[in-house]
């Protein structure tokens, strides 16, 4: 039996890996991804009934949200009303006005006038909503970056600040300094070691000792942020250890902060991945500690800069406050001077509210109380006060005999005893008072920890006993006007809110981070791009698999099949397997959001470990998609619920031998008389209409919708290139215009007779098959179930056909019919025209592409056409000179000497000169810091990365649906292929020029390759725009001085 192929439209299948993709519209780069998540998608429900576990908790909720949005769209469009979906709380209504001068943020909304989401002609599904800030926040980060004096000056003990002086008058008997010391241990789930190596050698011991020490010492506190490690510990812990941990967490002595699977990066991560890893962590907490335990406070001390998307997400998942650390030292200095290190982090596009009595000005509904640590790092020397040499003396894990750590200032900690208690307690109090002046408040947060701390019982004891002695001394001396205690993070924020302090509002982000000098942490924005892209591939598969699994479990329940039970034997094994695979995908995606994962800043072998996990997750989710789709469309194949079909009828069109490999198409064989079905799944809440491409072994095909009585779908046959720019023999790309409705809840039929009228609309079925005579095609369609599209081969063997000779039509008659259909717009398959321009020796044509023109330069090209013998081209190629064009009905891009030089908009009647070239940077140093995975420090301006025209091979292909210009170069400097693609489509893909780069520069060192897009008539000055996690577009200001990057 034939095997079907499944395409998920969560992302467009690609022949080649996309290293860089630029969408040009009048020179402005704008990438819009999916829809804005609604706030209710971030909620973790505590009262879920049933026991679908993660699937019931998350997938059903997301599914219901999607279905509700789609139903609302249907109801409104039925009454010819605009479909606004469910916008984010308090967001201004969709509009597109000119951007005010002071605006800093674009918010991406569903376009109510979209042809894909409503009844209008515009093909957009989203648009950037540009509006002035509803109110002026007290601190606008864009203004701060513009106005601050970025001077690296020596501030004394606090190198990046100033000589801070304590103000004893701030405190009194009625307003004592309240010190909250928060023990913590930062555990990276991968960096120098893999997550498993860290767990076995370090993290396991930290959590073991935490349970023992906290159980024996009720006054001690501890916080924990990484649920991935806690999950590993939980799986290996004894029942006694689990019960102790549960009591500590429920009692608040061990606080689970943030609750994410990891502490995520905030620059490279997509908002969907961030939300997913938070939900994964929160679900672990609920399953093992009960619904009464919910994280209340955020803890983010190590990501390399902070996005304004994250406070919105954190507020949405139920957090009341958060703490951050790695901001530019100049930003910290400016906020500290004005005592504004604690603020309400606000979205600039939200409507104001005056409901928060602790805000100095009105704040938005998702504003989050935020604490910014003032000093260089989150270790003990840089958290107790402005003088690290003194603070290090109060990290008692550095005493001799406790650990291998020491103080670099050569003044080691002293064991607290009766002889030195007065002097030690007063010295520490002076640092605390100085730090308190930076916040202007009597409530003070003091972190006590560092990376992988508290591994031994001796460290626990040393920190607890010495600090407790100091706290007791302060208590015995009330004239000091200070109180000290061990605390959880939420206990500190509770006390802060109870104080009489008011806090300013702040809008904007904290990029780009610099910790010292001019060492800007922007290198990780692009480090290891292969892994960054694999992360995005996994997002698409996970989204599709979660939705399909939810639909599958729901349908199984309706059919009376047990899908969740305390008795494992009652649950079909295959459903447990697919749920486990989805959970593996969620955890693998979540793990890679770690700030040393998706950033690409881990050791090479650790990145390889991440890659294996990502690749395994992709493979597992493909299996989930295969099985769930098989059940939803063919429940009869699962007549025995306990068994999995030996041969899943669907293959996912994305095979990859290993995580190192680029994905490729499944090549489909279309035998004479045998159909090859294709199923398209749209996991989004709006219809998709775009050009899709699949790979086939034959060129003579037609595409039709299965079950439709009308003609064929527009399609196009194109050759396939090898990496060296030559054609791959006997292999073709079939492109066709696909339209798949939005996701909606289907009622699946119980019998074959019900299939036609109850076919689910969120799945589109297609078939690839040999082309038959018109009568035979119509006869084959009779009684066929479902809504499909077919691709037929015109060369049908006559042998074995039924019917009289008089009923048969000659080949010429059939071709005449096809020609008539094509003229009426009903027949669909066209063949690309092509021109090959190369400086190499002539190549011979192969297979169905017998004519290949070979040129010595771009100046005198000859044209060629890829057409089966006997079929004339309906789109003849132009005579080409050194200039040519690619375009569709909406825009045209002119090329000269192999590079684009002009963008012309047909609709706006405007032209934009542009230039796209490659350039390179050589690695440099800032003081002692070299350019690398973390830092981007070029040695000087970029240099053109020129390769002569003879170093390239060129292929120009044109067709009614897809046109491409492909440049390939293979040299000692590495492999480089650049593909420019234009789609003739009414969907989003028809709005832009797609640029795809494949680059292999593994042989280069201290080398950065960039693609420069220069639009000459756009005067942006120092202002650019950047996407924040695919959620909002932020204004960015750039300042240059002697090639020292001030703000990227």
Contacts of 591 (CB under 8 A, 6+ apart): 189, 190, 195, 228, 261, 262, 277, 597, 610, 613
For residue 822, give the H/E element and its range: helix 811-823
Residue 816's pLDDT is: 54
pLDDT, average across residues 57-73? 39
pLDDT, average across residues 628-639? 78
Name the CATH superfamily, with its identifier, for domain 1-10+665-797+810-831: Golgi alpha-mannosidase II (2.60.40.1180)
More confident residue, 48 or 184: 184
Contact 336, 9 (CB under 8 A): no
Q: Which two tokens stand for residue 780?
A: 């084959």
pLDDT, average across residues 176-202? 98
Q: Which of 732, 792, 797 is nearest to 766 (CA)?
A: 792
Please state whether beta strands 676-681 and 790-792 pair in parallel, antiparallel, or not at all (unpaired). Answer: unpaired
**Of 152-156, 506-510, 563-567, which gets the smallest average pLDDT?**
563-567
* Highest-scoring range by mean pLDDT, 23-37, 314-328, 342-356, 905-919: 314-328
pTM of this structure: 0.81
Q: What is the pLDDT of residues 673-700, one digit of tens each?
A: 666 678 888 888 888 889 989 888 877 7
Describe the chain by its helix, strand, coil percentages, rounded to 5: 30, 25, 45
Torsion angles phi and psi, residue 1004, rounded to 5 = -95, 150
pLDDT, average across residues 990-1015? 86
Residue 591's pLDDT is: 98
Give 571's pLDDT tier (boundaries 50, 70, 90).
confident
pLDDT, average across residues 450-474? 98
Give 518's pLDDT tier (boundaries 50, 70, 90).
confident
More confident residue, 999 or 45: 999
Contacts of 605 (CB under 8 A, 6+ apart): 194
Residue 100's pLDDT is: 32
Residue 167's pLDDT is: 83
Residue 882's pLDDT is: 59
Residue 634's pLDDT is: 78
* Residues 845, 855: Cα–Cα separation, whole Å: 14
**For the CA atoms of the chain, what is the radius of gyration?**
32
Contact 392, 345 (CB under 8 A): no
Give 560's pLDDT tier (boundaries 50, 70, 90).
confident
pLDDT, average across residues 439-453? 97
Q: Which residues are catalytic?
A: 302
Fold (topology level) of 160-515: 7-stranded beta/alpha barrel (3.20.110)
For residue 390, give the H/E element and its range: helix 388-391
Provide the b/e sequence for 141-171 (b: ≥16 CB within 10 Å). bbebbeebebeeeeeebbebbeebebeeeeb
Contact 501, 170 (CB under 8 A): no
Give 768's pLDDT tier (boundaries 50, 70, 90).
very low
Contact 466, 416 (CB under 8 A): yes
Residue pointed to by tokens 């370090």? 202
Q: What is the pLDDT of residues 82-113, one digit of tens each?
A: 232 333 333 332 232 333 333 333 333 333 33
Give 356's pLDDT tier (boundaries 50, 70, 90).
low
> In this model, does residue 871 exceed pLDDT 90?
no
688: three-class secondary structure by DSSP:
strand
Residue 828's pLDDT is: 56
Pick left, alpha or beta for residue 763 (phi over 0 → left; psi -120 to 50 → alpha; otherwise beta).
Answer: beta
Contacts of 796 (CB under 8 A, 6+ apart): 672, 673, 770, 771, 772, 773
Provide the b/e sequence for 266-281 (b: ≥16 CB within 10 Å). bbbbbbbbbbbbbbbb
Tally of helices (H runs) and strands (E runs) in the chain: 19, 44
> In this model, does residue 718 exceed pLDDT 80?
yes
* Highest-scoring range by mean pLDDT, 70-84, 628-642, 848-862: 628-642
pLDDT, average across residues 43-67? 35
The arrangement of strands across the sheet holding 688-696 comes to: 667-668, 688-696, 727-740, 715-721, 829-831
Residue 59's pLDDT is: 35
Contact 917, 899 (CB under 8 A): yes
Q: Count Cβ atoms within 10 A of the Cβ of residue 354 and give its class: 0-12 exposed, 13-18 middle, 19 or more buried.
A: exposed
For 804, other C-beta atoms within 10 Å of its C-beta total 6
Give 245's pLDDT tier (boundaries 50, 70, 90).
very high
Contact 513, 304 (CB under 8 A): yes
Contacts of 816 (CB under 8 A, 6+ apart): none
pLDDT, average across residues 231-256? 97
Contact 828, 766 (CB under 8 A): no
**DSSP per-residue string spanning 35-58:** -PPPGGGG---S---S--THIIII
Residue 649's pLDDT is: 66
> In this model, does residue 9 exceed pLDDT 80?
no
User: What CATH architecture does domain 833-1017 belong to?
Assistant: Distorted Sandwich (2.70)
Residue 681's pLDDT is: 84
Q: What is the pLDDT of residues 118-139, one digit of tens each?
A: 333 333 334 444 444 445 789 9
Please state whether beta strands 4-8 and 650-652 pair in parallel, antiparallel, or not at all (unpaired). Answer: parallel
Q: Which of 439, 464, 427, 432 is nearest to 449 (CA)?
A: 464
For residue 283, give the H/E element and its range: helix 271-289
47-84+540-661: CATH number: 1.20.1270.50
**DSSP per-residue string spanning 62-81:** HHHHHHHHHHHHHHHHHTT-
Torsion angles phi and psi, residue 111, rounded to 5 = -85, 115
More confident residue, 779 or 560: 560
Residue 153's pLDDT is: 86
* Residues 388, 720: Cα–Cα separation, whole Å: 62
Residue 648's pLDDT is: 63
H helices of 401-519, where?
A: 421-439, 457-476, 489-498
Residue pointed to by tokens 């294996």? 612
Q: What is the pLDDT of residues 476-510, one digit of tens each?
A: 999 999 999 999 999 999 999 999 889 999 999 99
pLDDT, average across residues 59-71? 40
Q: What is the pLDDT of residues 384-430, one digit of tens each?
A: 999 999 999 999 999 999 999 999 999 999 999 999 999 999 999 99
More confident residue, 941 or 370: 370
Q: Which of 270, 305, 311 is nearest to 39 (CA)?
A: 311
Residue 708's pLDDT is: 57
> In this model, does residue 813 exceed pLDDT 70?
no
Residue 271's pLDDT is: 96
Q: How confident is the prediction for the chain on average, in pLDDT?
A: 75
Q: Which of 872, 876, 880, 875 is nearest to 836 (CA)?
A: 880
How far are the Cα atoms of 184, 203, 225, 315 from residue 262, in angstroms, in the given order?
15, 14, 7, 17
> In this model, does residue 339 exceed pLDDT 80?
yes
How far are the Cα atoms of 25, 26, 917 from residue 913, in angstroms, in the given order?
12, 9, 14
> In this model, does residue 878 exceed pLDDT 90?
no
* Residues 645, 640: Cα–Cα separation, whole Å: 9
**Of 295-299, 785-789, 793-797, 890-894, which gets the smallest average pLDDT?**
785-789
> In this model, does residue 561 exceed pLDDT 60?
yes
**Of 602-616, 670-684, 921-935, 966-980, which gets the smallest average pLDDT?**
670-684
* Residues 88, 71: Cα–Cα separation, whole Å: 18
CA angle at residue 986 from 980 to 990, to 5 degrees? 15
Torsion angles phi and psi, residue 606, rounded to 5 = -70, -40
Residue 101's pLDDT is: 35
Give 184's pLDDT tier (boundaries 50, 70, 90).
very high
Residue 149's pLDDT is: 86
Domain boundaries, the chain: 1-10+665-797+810-831, 47-84+540-661, 160-515, 833-1017
Give 835's pLDDT tier (boundaries 50, 70, 90).
low
Residue 405's pLDDT is: 94
Give 836's pLDDT tier (boundaries 50, 70, 90).
low
Q: Count Cβ atoms within 10 A of the Cβ of residue 53 and give its class: 0-12 exposed, 13-18 middle, 19 or more buried.
A: middle
Give 639's pLDDT tier (boundaries 50, 70, 90).
low
């Amino acid at each position: 039996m034939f095997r079907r192929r499944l395409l998920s439209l969560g992302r467009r299948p690609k022949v080649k890996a996309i290293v860089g993709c630029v969408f040009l519209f009048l020179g402005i780069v704008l990438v819009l991804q999916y829809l804005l998540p609604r706030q209710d998608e971030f909620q973790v429900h505590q009262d879920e009934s049933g026991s679908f576990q993660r699937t019931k908790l998350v997938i059903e909720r997301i599914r219901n949200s999607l279905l509700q949005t789609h139903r609302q769209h249907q109801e409104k469009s039925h009454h010819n009303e605009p479909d606004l979906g469910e916008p984010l709380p308090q967001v201004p209504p969709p509009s597109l006005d000119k951007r005010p001068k002071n605006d800093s943020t674009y918010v991406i909304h569903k376009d109510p006038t979209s042809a894909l989401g409503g009844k209008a002609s515009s093909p957009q599904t989203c648009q950037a909503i540009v509006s002035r800030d509803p109110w002026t926040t007290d601190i606008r980060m864009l203004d701060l970056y513009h106005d601050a004096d970025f001077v690296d000056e020596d501030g004394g003990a606090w190198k990046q600040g100033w000589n801070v002086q304590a103000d004893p008058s701030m405190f009194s008997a009625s307003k004592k300094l309240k010190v909250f010391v928060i023990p913590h241990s930062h555990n990276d789930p991968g960096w120098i070691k893999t997550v498993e190596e860290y767990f076995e050698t370090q993290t396991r011991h930290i959590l073991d000792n935490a349970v023992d020490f906290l159980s024996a010492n009720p006054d001690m506190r501890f916080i924990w942020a990484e649920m991935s490690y806690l999950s590993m510990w939980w799986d290996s812990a004894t029942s006694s250890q689990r019960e102790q941990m549960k009591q500590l967490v429920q009692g608040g002595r061990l606080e689970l902060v943030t609750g994410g699977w990891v502490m995520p990066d905030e620059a490279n991560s997509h908002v969907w991945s961030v939300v997913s890893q938070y939900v994964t962590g929160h679900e672990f907490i609920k399953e093992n500690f009960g619904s009464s335990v919910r994280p209340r406070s955020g803890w983010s001390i190590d990501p390399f800069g902070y996005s304004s998307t994250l406070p919105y997400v954190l507020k949405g998942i139920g957090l009341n406050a958060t703490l951050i650390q790695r901001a530019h030292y100049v930003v910290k200095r400016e906020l500290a001077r004005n005592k504004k290190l604690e603020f309400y982090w606000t979205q600039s596009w939200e409507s104001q509210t005056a409901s928060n009595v602790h805000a100095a000005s009105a704040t938005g509904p998702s504003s989050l109380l935020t604490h910014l640590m003032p000093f260089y790092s989150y270790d003990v020397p840089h958290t107790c006060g402005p003088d690290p040499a003194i603070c290090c003396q109060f990290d008692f894990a550095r005493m001799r005999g406790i650990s291998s750590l020491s103080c670099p200032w050569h003044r080691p900690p002293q064991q607290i005893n009766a002889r030195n208690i007065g002097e030690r307690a007063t010295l520490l109090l002076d640092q605390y008072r100085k730090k308190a002046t930076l916040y202007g408040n009597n409530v003070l947060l003091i972190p006590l920890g560092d990376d992988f701390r508290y591994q031994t019982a001796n460290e626990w004891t040393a920190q607890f006993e010495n600090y407790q002695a100091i706290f007791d001394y302060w208590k015995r001396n009330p004239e000091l006007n200070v109180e000290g205690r061990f605390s959880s993070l939420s206990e500190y924020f509770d006390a802060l809110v109870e104080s009489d302090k008011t806090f300013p509002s702040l809008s904007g982000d904290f990029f780009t981070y610099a910790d010292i000098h001019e060492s800007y942490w922007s290198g990780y924005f692009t480090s290891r791009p292969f892994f960054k892209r694999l992360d995005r591939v996994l997002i698409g598969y996970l989204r599709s698999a979660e939705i399909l699994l939810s639909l599958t479990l729901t349908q199984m329940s309706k059919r009376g099949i047990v899908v969740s039970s305390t008795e494992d034997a009652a649950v079909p094994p295959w459903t447990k397997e697919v749920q486990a695979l989805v959970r593996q995908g969620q955890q693998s995606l979540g793990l890679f959001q770690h700030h040393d994962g998706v950033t690409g800043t881990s050791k090479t072998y650790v990145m390889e470990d991440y890659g294996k996990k990502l690749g395994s997750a992709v493979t597992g989710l493909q299996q989930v998609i295969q099985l769930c789709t098989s059940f939803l469309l063919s429940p009869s194949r699962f007549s025995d619920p306990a068994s999995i079909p030996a041969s899943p009828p669907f293959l996912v069109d994305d095979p990859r031998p290993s995580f190192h490999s680029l994905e490729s198409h499944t090549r489909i064989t279309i035998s004479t008389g045998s159909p090859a079905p294709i199923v398209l799944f749209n996991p989004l809440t709006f219809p998709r209409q775009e050009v899709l491409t699949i790979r086939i072994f034959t060129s003579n095909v037609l595409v039709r919708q299965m079950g439709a009585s009308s003609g064929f779908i527009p399609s196009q046959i194109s050759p396939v290139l090898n990496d060296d720019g030559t054609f791959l023999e006997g292999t073709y790309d079939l492109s066709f215009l696909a339209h798949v409705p939005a996701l909606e809840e289907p009622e699946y039929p119980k019998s074959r007779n019900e299939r036609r009228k109850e076919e689910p609309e969120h799945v589109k079925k297609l078939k690839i098959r040999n082309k038959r005579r018109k009568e035979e095609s119509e006869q084959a369609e009779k009684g066929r179930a479902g809504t499909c599209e077919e691709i037929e081969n015109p060369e049908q063997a006559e042998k074995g056909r039924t019917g009289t000779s008089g009923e048969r039509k000659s080949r010429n008659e059939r071709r005449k019919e096809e020609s008539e259909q094509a003229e009426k717009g009903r027949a669909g398959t066209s063949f690309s025209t092509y021109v090959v321009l190369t400086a190499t020796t002539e190549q011979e044509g192969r297979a169905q592409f017998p004519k290949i023109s070979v040129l010595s330069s771009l100046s005198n090209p000859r044209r060629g056409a890829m057409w089966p013998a006997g079929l004339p081209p309906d789109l003849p190629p132009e005579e080409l000179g050194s200039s040519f064009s690619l375009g569709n009905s909406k825009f045209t891009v002119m090329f000269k000497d192999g590079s684009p030089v002009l963008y012309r908009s047909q609709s706006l009647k405007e032209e934009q000169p542009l230039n796209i070239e490659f350039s390179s940077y050589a690695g440099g140093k800032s003081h002692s810091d070299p350019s690398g995975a973390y830092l981007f420090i070029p040695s000087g301006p970029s240099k053109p990365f020129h390769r002569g025209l003879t170093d390239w091979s060129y292929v120009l292909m044109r067709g009614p649906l897809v046109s491409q210009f492909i440049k390939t170069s293979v040299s000692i400097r590495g492999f480089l292929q650049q593909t420019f693609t234009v789609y003739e489509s009414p969907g989003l893909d028809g709005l832009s020029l797609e640029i795809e780069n494949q680059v292999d520069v593994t042989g280069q060192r201290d080398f950065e390759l960039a693609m420069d897009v220069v639009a000459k008539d756009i005067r942006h000055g120092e202002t650019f725009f950047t996407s924040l996690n695919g959620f909002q577009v932020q204004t960015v200001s750039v300042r240059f001085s002697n090639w020292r990057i001030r703000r990227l």
